[in-house]
A and B are shown apart, each in its own frame.
Chain A
Amino acid sequence: SQKIEQNSEALNIQEGKTATLTCNYTNYSPAYLQWYRQDPGRGPVFLLLIRENEKEKRKERLKVTFDTTLKQSLFHITASQPADSATYLCALGSDNYGQNFVFGPGTRLSVLP
Chain B
Amino acid sequence: DAGITQSPRHKVTETGTPVTLRCHQTENHRYMYWYRQDPGHGLRLIHYSYGVKDTDKGEVSDGYSVSRSKTEDFLLTLESATSSQTSVYFCAISDPGDPPGTQYFGPGTRLTVL
Please list the residues of chain A having a beta carbon within 8 angstroms of any beta carbon in chain B. Answer: 4, 31-32, 34, 41-46, 49, 89, 91, 93, 95-99, 101, 103-106
Contact B101 A42 (CB under 8 A): no
* A43-B90 CB under 8 A given contacts A103-B43, A105-B40: yes
A43 to B103, CA, bound (A): 11
Tally of chain B residues near chain A (CB < 8 A): 28
Interface: B70 (CB within 8 A): no
A10 to chain B, nearest CB (A): 12
Main secondary structure of the interface of A (DSSP, over half): loop
Say yes or no: B43 contacts A96, CB within 8 Å: no
Residue from B1, B103, B106, B108 within 8 A of A98 (CB atoms) = B103
Residue numbers of B with Cβ under 8 A of A are 1, 4, 31, 33, 40-45, 48, 50, 56, 58, 90, 92, 94, 96, 99-108
Instruction: Report the minimal beta-carbon distance from A73 to chain B, rounded to whole angstroms.
Output: 14
Let me know if B90 and A96 touch, CB within 8 A: no
Q: B77 to chain A: closest CB distance in Å?
A: 20
Known: A34-B102, A44-B105, A91-B101. A97 touches B42 (CB 8 A): no
Can you show 17 pairs from A to B with CB atoms below 8 A apart? A34-B101, A34-B102, A41-B108, A42-B1, A43-B4, A43-B90, A43-B106, A44-B43, A46-B104, A91-B43, A97-B50, A98-B31, A98-B101, A99-B56, A101-B45, A104-B42, A106-B42
The list of the 9 closest CB pairs from A to B, nearest first, reads A43-B105, A93-B101, A103-B43, A103-B42, A105-B42, A96-B100, A98-B101, A49-B99, A44-B105
